[in-house]
Structure 1
Amino acid sequence: MVPRSALRHFVALAIGVVLWASASRAFAWVELTIGRDDVRVEIDRQGKARIEHRVQLLVSGGPLASFSIRGVDPDAEIEPGSFVVPEAAEKAGQLDGAKPVTVEKKTDKAPGTPRADLDVGFEGKGLYRGRYIVVVRYRTDLLATGSIAREGNSWLIRWLGPSWDHGLDNPRAAFTVPMGQTEPRAELPGAEAEGPQEDDGSVLSTVTRKGPVDVIELARLYAARGERIAWTFRIDARALDAGAPVASKPAPVPASDRAIAAPKDFGLEVLLGAGIGLFLLLAGLVVVHGHEVRMRAKERGVVPRPLVPLPLAVRACLGAIVYLAGMWLVLSGRASVGGPALAGAFALFVWYLPSRAKHEARPPGQWLPLRLGELVDRALPQDRGFFVLSSRAGLTTFASLFVIAVALGILAFTRSSVHLPLVLAGAAPLFSLFASGGRRSLPVDLAVDPIPLLRDVAIKLGRARPGLRLVPRVRLPQSSADADEIRLVAVVPEATQGLRSVEIGCGWAAGPGGYVILPEIVVRFEAGTPCAELASSLEASAKKGPGRKLDERVLVFTPKLPTRRLTVELALAVIDRLGVAQKRGAVDAAAEPPRTRRPKREVPEERRDAA
């Protein structure tokens, strides 16, 4: 007698085995749905045809090892080059990721209508969840199989399509036939079904005449499960040469699939050489750019600050590798978003942060006047470099990179229109060489950098106020022959008493993109004077500054935007407020008789007592 404990263990083991087996079958679950089957049939003048099936597979679960196309022509001769590709890649024209499939024909020897099936197998582990397009091609002789028959002055073509285990919505087939005197026309449809016969529904036809051929496209609203659609139409009797010797000329391969069958034009040595050449070119550009930035920083006595704190040679190599890897992903179609993003990382290796300015107390100095012509007619030294757009070398470099980017874009567009924006987006990081490391990333030299702004302001003020006198002044520190600041002094005619000067100078501010010059209007006046009383009404729109003497007060006005036009308008407003117009207003106010206070009337004592 079996002990109860052993029996319990045996039952538990049996249940575990059953659960494990059911779990294994569930893990391997796969469901296949045929979304559509687009058929293209190319018929030559001898009645032979080349048939192409583009089958959409909707796979759930997986992996899917194979599927069958049931009901093809019994004399089908399978062409090499069948493949499977994801639907998204096929729509974008990116067939580089297509994988070959194996196609095997199995003939049905059952009595009745002869038929053959095609078993399509996938290499490797098969297909997992997703949407795929399978392309299969074969050749057949429609005249020999009876699919083409002569009826009077026309040929009747009746070709049976394959049957599927699921119904199809909007099945269609495109037939390319030699051009005749009359256009092809569709006939009433027919069908042969393995199961119950269903209504064929209506057939829509479209005829297009393209040079030496006619293309008739037939479409139906629905195909039932197991139904073999009989695509039927007529062509002109002179379109085919029945009985003439066959001219063995293969049908042209569609342009969309030519990339798969075409041999590789370039060998590994050529591709490797081109990659090394591009690497050296990009690394050289980064090195030359870094050298120019270092020389400009040395002139200002500062140290350049690269965004990626690595030596220049290391940054050049990493930037070139990252950029080439990103562009390879773009051109190969492996990453539509990651490729441009990786190529865009090239800008990180060539970008420079603004150099830190030295904050030191200025030594005492002396302001010296200059002639206005020295400011207006002074020629500033031009920046030179391969990445400075204001120089000839910089314009040449920019134009060369732009031409290369346009050429790559045209090359990508000839391959696929989807590649064009990706290539242009990938070429954009190269132009970061011109946007970083320039003069704006260096601290402002108040003796040189404000000269273009002050020169334009002086010209505009001279046109607006022809009688206004403008005197440029430079500040020379003690024991130094180089000026450290320049300003433009406006001599106000008939100024209010106590006004010492109205100066147009410049400050600066640092931001993520570099240093920005900020123009400002500096008003100096004495305390306790009419100008001080007048200036008290302007303190709300200005900030106070330190004076050069104990009795001197300073107000600093800043335009809303650091533009030349707003700077000129603000300077004119300050000059008019403190100049002749205000003085005339003060004289008119002084000529007006002072207001006397009316004496208070005394109330009699009797009225006070009554109140």
Structure 2
Amino acid sequence: MPSRIARRPGPALLLPFLAALLSIAFALPARAWVEVHVAGDDVRLSIDRAGAATVEHKVTLKISGGPLRALDIQGVDPDAQLDEGSYAVPFKAAEAGSLASATPVAIELLPPDPRPREDGTRRPAAMRARFDGKGLSRGVFVLFFRYRTDLMKRGLIRQDGPSSRVSWSGPVWDDGYDSARLTVALPAAPDEPRVDEARPDEAGEAASPDALPAPTTLSTLRRALDKDELELLRPYAPKAEPIRWAVRADARAFQPEPAAAKPGADTLGRISDAAAGSPDRSRTLYVAAGVVLFALYSALVALKAREHERLARAAGVAPRPIVPIPLAPRAALAGLALVAGVALELLLTDGTPGAALVAAATALAAHRTPRPERAAATLRRPGKWLPIAEAEAFREPPRVRGVYLDVSTRAGKALLVALLAALGAGVHAVAAASPYHAHLLALDATALLAIFCTGRLAELPADPAARPVAFLRDVARRVRRLRKAPAGAAAAAQELRVVGRLRIPDGSPDADELRLGLSPRAALPGFVAIEVGVVYAPGAGGAIGLPEVLLRVAPGSPCERAVEGVAKSGRSSRGRRPGERVLAFTPRLPTARMTAAIAAALVRAVSTPPASATPTKPSGAGAAGATRAPRPRKKAVSAAA
């Protein structure tokens, strides 16, 4: 093939390539496909005595594709006056009564279309619903909107003898749906309302009874003192046609209210009128409730701070609020933050801003564990240990008085329960309108817990002469249970003495430590004492009690040789007197059961064996060998320690 012919396809392919580039460059962006199907329209028509009505629609939309950004609604009332508060919510959330995922909707009336329809009639009034944000995605949603209309002025309420006929037409939907529902709320009247399916003919007169069609509307009547509700249900809604409803009601339902009674004529009526709600009165009640809540919470924060500071100073420590600012502004800020947080939680669909303010109020009311002051962190003075009777040493210490905002006291428990009950009543009242806001209000109980559950008595430094009373009393009871005296001649050898030991510092009338003293009546030579004490260490939620069992013996005595096996599980040190050795045992867990097990095992180890079980030896060497502790006792003490 010649070279001239081989070069011809190049220019021929250039033109299609340029055309493809131009088509790509000037291509319009693809539009999302969306299909909307109306699955239902639940309408409520509330009519007052003057004939004005409020129309509420709950339209169920099934959306395919999406997102849906706007929806046109044909056939609404031409004199519609739109109300605010329209929204769209997923179907499952609507069934649960939650508005957490609601999307705001902007409703606007469209200008009338002058073009007639195919049959020559005027086009009905229409409105457009615009969905904020990204619109509605694929799924099932419930659209709620509301407007007002005057049926009396439009001639849709006509009196016919003792009754009045109320007629109303619903919107026009391109797709029909099943179970069309309308609830008509009418003013209370002596005669009950009923459905009217008589259709007037073209001349405007009612057709004869023989020509009336079979009833196609089911009705349910609910009567109350102030209103009657008639629920109408039809099996289906026609396609592209309005649903025409008609109701027969007592004509007296639309008569004006009687003139107000003269002063003093009807006291009960005046009280009812005063109790009737109005926007101004509701606003006043809300403001009053906010003022009461601010005053109450600010007072609780101030009283709690004064109470905790008084107890902390008496214990020799400094109070530590989480927010270290003066008390007056701290209490005022706490009350203001709580009131603002609760208000935002109830008014906004998003609970985050309100919850943040409630958390700030909680932080302003809470206290941390107090720290000992440096001046008080000194070594204790020398003192003397004095024995005291068990009943006197381990009796219940007197209760601290004047503590009302601490959950560990009886008054604090009662007051906290009362405040939580009041909060529960508020949550129950809000739950009827919005379960979501009721849950937010229930979580605000943390503001009360910050007052009653922080700055407690247990967080103050422990008094070693009073705090361990209940613990040592429990240890003594458990040791007695483990040391039940056997029947027979050995009962006297197994008796146990329980005493209290108080330490009195020199120059002070008050004790600074309490211990439990245990001593068998028949002990080995060289035995001095068994003591159970509690050492308190600072912790995040207060002082932590760490029990310890001390065995005091004389060095080189038979008692020391008897406890050589168990001594490996403890710590050895010098005693408080010359010629005394101390073995300290710490339980693995700081519980009364483990502490009592160690103490009971040491009591068994230092007790003299019964005479019937002691072998006869001629010399002291054999006798000393007879006092050696058996091997099972060594294992028991090691496991408990």
TM-score (norm 2): 0.65
CA 1:139–1:519 in structure 2 vs 1: closer, same or farther (change >3 Å)?
same
CA distance in 1 between partners of 2:82 and 2:56 (Å): 12
Shift, 1:393, TM fit: 5.1
Choose the corresponding residue for 2:467, options 446, 449, 461: 449
Shift, 1:87, TM fit: 1.9
Matches within 5 A, 1:43-54: 52-54=56-58
Q: What SS is found at the alignment partner of 2:445?
A: helix
CA 1:301–1:30 in structure 2 vs 1: closer, same or farther (change >3 Å)?
farther
Q: Contact conserved, 1:38 with 1:53, CA < 8 A, in 2?
A: yes
Choose the corresponding residue for 2:83, options 64, 81, 84: 81
CA distance in 2 between partners of 1:384 and 1:158 (Å): 71
Q: What SS is found at the alignment partner of 2:455?
A: coil
> Is 1:112 aligned to residue 124 of structure 2?
no
> Is 1:484 aligned to residue 512 of structure 2?
yes
Q: How much is the aligned-residue C-alpha RMSD, in angstroms?
A: 5.4
CA 1:497–1:32 in structure 2 vs 1: closer, same or farther (change >3 Å)?
farther
Q: Give a deviation string over 1:435-456, Cα, whole Å, max 9, x none.
A: 1112221222212222233345
CA distance in 2 between partners of 1:376 and 1:170 (Å): 79
Q: Give a deviation string over 1:224-269, Cα, whole Å, max 9, x none.
A: 9x7447689x99xxx678xx8994689xxxxxxxxxx96343447x
CA 1:287–1:524 in structure 2 vs 1: closer, same or farther (change >3 Å)?
same
CA 1:394–1:214 in structure 2 vs 1: closer, same or farther (change >3 Å)?
closer
Shift, 1:554, TM fit: 1.0
CA 1:408–1:338 in structure 2 vs 1: closer, same or farther (change >3 Å)?
same
CA distance in 2 between partners of 1:282 and 1:305 (Å): 20
> Is 1:215 aligned to residue 223 of structure 2?
no
Matches within 5 A, 1:502-541: 502-539=530-567
> Is 1:388 aligned to residue 421 of structure 2?
no
Choose the corresponding residue for 2:146, options 111, 131, 135: 135
CA 1:412–1:70 in structure 2 vs 1: closer, same or farther (change >3 Å)?
closer
CA distance in 1 between partners of 2:443 and 2:72 (Å): 43
Equivalent residue for 1:560?
589
Q: What SS is found at the alignment partner of 1:382?
A: coil
CA distance in 2 between partners of 1:507 and 1:468 (Å): 25
CA distance in 2 between partners of 1:374 and 1:347 (Å): 43
Q: Contact conserved, 1:521 with 1:556, CA < 8 A, in 2?
A: yes
> Is 1:366 aligned to residue 378 of structure 2?
no
CA distance in 1 between partners of 2:405 and 2:322 (Å): 18
CA distance in 1 between partners of 2:406 and 2:181 (Å): 60
Q: What SS is found at the alignment partner of 1:303?
A: strand
CA distance in 1 between partners of 2:338 and 2:53 (Å): 48
Q: What SS is found at the alignment partner of 1:431?
A: helix
Q: Give a deviation string over 1:155-203, Cα, whole Å, max 9, x none.
A: xx999764456x57767434659999999899xxxxxxxxxxxxxxxxx
Q: Which amino acid aligns with 2:582?
A: R
The answer to which of 472-481 and 293-302 deviates more is 472-481
CA distance in 2 between partners of 1:561 and 1:87 (Å): 56
Q: Give a deviation string over 1:301-328, Cα, whole Å, max 9, x none.
A: 2212223333333432332233222211
CA 1:404–1:552 in structure 2 vs 1: closer, same or farther (change >3 Å)?
same
Q: Contact conserved, 1:447 with 1:484, CA < 8 A, in 2?
A: yes
Equivalent residue for 1:256?
none
CA distance in 1 between partners of 2:387 and 2:428 (Å): 59
> Is 1:312 aligned to residue 327 of structure 2?
yes
Matches within 5 A, 1:213-252: 215-218=231-234, 227-228=240-241, 247=254
Equivalent residue for 1:198?
none
Shift, 1:486, TM fit: 1.1
CA distance in 2 between partners of 1:138 and 1:182 (Å): 21
Q: What SS is found at the alignment partner of 1:265?
A: helix
Shift, 1:387, TM fit: 1.1
Equivalent residue for 1:284?
299
CA distance in 2 between partners of 1:435 and 1:589 (Å): 65
Equivalent residue for 2:162?
none
Choose the corresponding residue for 2:573, options 546, 561, 571: 546
Identical positions, percent: 23
CA distance in 2 between partners of 1:180 and 1:271 (Å): 39
CA distance in 2 between partners of 1:181 and 1:414 (Å): 29
CA distance in 1 between partners of 2:132 and 2:196 (Å): 42
CA distance in 2 between partners of 1:575 and 1:185 (Å): 97
Q: What SS is found at the alignment partner of 2:83?
A: coil
Shift, 1:487, TM fit: 0.6
Q: Contact conserved, 1:37 with 1:53, CA < 8 A, in 2?
A: no
Q: Contact conserved, 2:176 with 2:240, CA < 8 A, in 1?
A: no
CA distance in 2 between partners of 1:93 and 1:473 (Å): 66
CA 1:262–1:359 in structure 2 vs 1: closer, same or farther (change >3 Å)?
same
Equivalent residue for 1:416?
434
Q: Give a deviation string over 1:51-96, Cα, whole Å, max 9, x none.
A: 64333579999995x64212457xx542553651242697437999
Q: Contact conserved, 2:75 with 2:170, CA < 8 A, in 1?
A: yes
Q: Give a deviation string over 1:484-503, Cα, whole Å, max 9, x none.
A: 21111011132234332111
Q: Contact conserved, 2:407 with 2:456, CA < 8 A, in 1?
A: no
CA distance in 2 between partners of 1:589 and 1:159 (Å): 117
CA 1:505–1:210 in structure 2 vs 1: closer, same or farther (change >3 Å)?
same
Q: What SS is found at the alignment partner of 2:318?
A: coil
Q: Contact conserved, 2:52 with 2:149, CA < 8 A, in 1?
A: no
CA distance in 2 between partners of 1:383 and 1:567 (Å): 32
Q: Contact conserved, 2:38 with 2:173, CA < 8 A, in 1?
A: no
Q: Which amino acid aligns with 1:263?
A: P
Q: Contact conserved, 2:193 with 2:249, CA < 8 A, in 1?
A: no
Shift, 1:129, TM fit: 2.7
Q: Contact conserved, 1:77 with 1:140, CA < 8 A, in 2?
A: no
CA distance in 1 between partners of 2:286 and 2:195 (Å): 49
Structure 2, unpaired ranges of 5+: 1-21, 157-165, 198-215, 258-276, 486-494, 626-641
> Is 1:401 aligned to residue 401 of structure 2?
no
CA distance in 2 between partners of 1:264 and 1:505 (Å): 68
Q: Contact conserved, 1:523 with 1:555, CA < 8 A, in 2?
A: yes
Q: Which amino acid aligns with 2:464?
A: L
Choose the corresponding residue for 1:438, options 456, 477, 483: 456
The answer to which of 365-374 and 542-551 deviates more is 542-551
CA distance in 2 between partners of 1:92 and 1:427 (Å): 21
CA 1:162–1:396 in structure 2 vs 1: closer, same or farther (change >3 Å)?
closer
Q: Which amino acid aligns with 1:443?
A: P
Q: Which amino acid aligns with 1:53?
A: H
Q: Contact conserved, 2:72 with 2:129, CA < 8 A, in 1?
A: no
The answer to which of 305-314 and 125-134 deviates more is 125-134
Shift, 1:363, TM fit: 4.1
Q: What SS is found at the alignment partner of 1:117?
A: coil
CA 1:301–1:114 in structure 2 vs 1: closer, same or farther (change >3 Å)?
same
Equivalent residue for 2:181?
173
Q: What SS is found at the alignment partner of 1:356?
A: strand
Instruction: Report how many residues are paired.
Output: 529
CA 1:133–1:32 in structure 2 vs 1: closer, same or farther (change >3 Å)?
farther
Q: Give a deviation string over 1:21-68, Cα, whole Å, max 9, x none.
A: 979x99xx9978466541326599xx999864333579999995x642
CA distance in 1 between partners of 2:342 and 2:555 (Å): 68
Equivalent residue for 2:336?
321
Q: What SS is found at the alignment partner of 2:518?
A: strand
The answer to which of 343-352 and 504-513 deviates more is 343-352
Q: Contact conserved, 2:219 with 2:230, CA < 8 A, in 1?
A: yes
CA 1:264–1:477 in structure 2 vs 1: closer, same or farther (change >3 Å)?
same
CA distance in 1 between partners of 2:480 and 2:572 (Å): 28
Q: Contact conserved, 1:82 with 1:102, CA < 8 A, in 2?
A: no
Q: Contact conserved, 1:507 with 1:519, CA < 8 A, in 2?
A: yes
